Amino acid sequence: MPQWAIDGPEKLTFGDVRTLNVRTVSGRLDVLASDGPPVLEVTDMNAGPLIVTHDEADGTLTVTYKDLSWEGLLSWLAGPRKRRCELAIAVPRTCAVNAGVVTASATVAGFERRTRVRSVSGEIVLDGVSGDVHAEAVSGSVESRAMEGDLSFKSVSGDLTVAGGTPRRLRANTVSGRITADLVLRPTSHVTINTVSGDVLVRLPHNVDTDVKVRSTSGQLDCAFDGLRERFAPGMRSLTGRLGDGMAALSATTVSGQVALLRGERR
């Protein structure tokens, strides 16, 4: 199994890659879908080495520090070890991607099968990533652009922004993070958002067809759509009902966060 130890700028080209595992600490990570041969390029590094392994038998490419595991990402945030690198990886769009960062910013773009991203406090952008997508963050933010398929998001205080999303399923769970989503819902779309104190803002087309169920214990509820039933009771506020012909489903639940449903402009 070929293996490299990289401690400075370097460029490597690989054969067949079907699964990518990459973990880094700080700096910059770009993981891009490409029709060309798989390529790894390190442009800057202050401490190393990065260990690169290519399992030619099953097409797995692994890029990480020797002592940085998935489970150990969080411990690096407060630790004395400082490692920074800037790297870009290009692999086929059908590749399964598993990417983890501590404080690094990361962009993952163009993949269509299975994508997993984890962040401690780094910012992650998912650009045109479809299929089965899972994102986890402690305090880092995740932005999804032009998403399709399934997106699952989980954080403590990290924010999620979905811009131009057409989800089949969107599941977002956070303690205090803010959820902002600009969505187009298909008849089979299911959106479920849960927060404790995080605010929720969802923008939908003016002619959307969806069932709506919004609940808050003490947070404010705002809605730009007519036809929903608004109820207030001790310890519970809710907005429920059907917009248009229904079909899709939108649910948002929070304890003290504010929930706003906005109406997009007519086109």
Q: For the residues of the chain, what is the DSSP string, one character each?
A: --EEEE-SSEEEE-S--SEEEEEE-EEEEEEEE-SS--EEEEEEESS-PEEEEEETTTTEEEEEETT--STTTTHHHHSS---EEEEEEEE-TTSEEEEEESS-EEEEES--SEEEEEESS--EEEES--SEEEEEESS--EEEES-EEEEEEEESS--EEEEEEEEEEEEEEESS--EEEEE---TT-EEEEEESS--EEEEE-TT--EEEEEEESSS-EEE--SS-EEEEETTEEEEEEEETT--EEEEEEESS--EEEEEPPP-
Q: How confident is the model at residue 144 (pLDDT cuts 50, 70, 90)?
A: very high
What is the arithmetic mean of pLDDT over 86-110?
A: 96
pLDDT of 234 > 90? The answer is no
End-to-end CA distance of the chain: 55
What is the arithmetic mean of pLDDT over 126-144?
A: 96
Read off the pTM. 0.92
pLDDT of 124 > 60? The answer is yes
Q: How confident is the model at residue 198 (pLDDT cuts 50, 70, 90)?
A: very high
Q: How confident is the model at residue 80 (pLDDT cuts 50, 70, 90)?
A: very low
What is the arithmetic mean of pLDDT over 26-31?
A: 96
What is the arithmetic mean of pLDDT over 207-216?
A: 95
pLDDT of 111 > 80? The answer is yes
pLDDT of 109 > 90? The answer is yes
The answer to whether the beta carbons of residues 189 and 210 sit under 8 Å apart is yes
Q: How confident is the model at residue 53 (pLDDT cuts 50, 70, 90)?
A: very high
Q: How far apart are CA 237 and CA 147, in angstroms?
A: 31
Q: Tokens in use for 192?
A: 């479920």
Q: How confident is the model at residue 266 (pLDDT cuts 50, 70, 90)?
A: low
Q: Which of 77, 167, 189, 195 is CA-nearest to residue 181?
A: 167
- Phi-psi map region of 244: left, alpha, beta (phi>0 left; psi -120 to 50 alpha): left
pLDDT of 230 > 50? The answer is yes
Query: In this predicted structure, what is the pLDDT of residue 75?
Result: 60
Query: In this predicted structure, what is the pLDDT of residue 67?
Result: 76
Q: Where are the domains of the chain?
A: 1-118, 147-267
What is the arithmetic mean of pLDDT over 166-176?
A: 97
What is the arithmetic mean of pLDDT over 201-227?
A: 94
Q: How confident is the model at residue 72 (pLDDT cuts 50, 70, 90)?
A: low
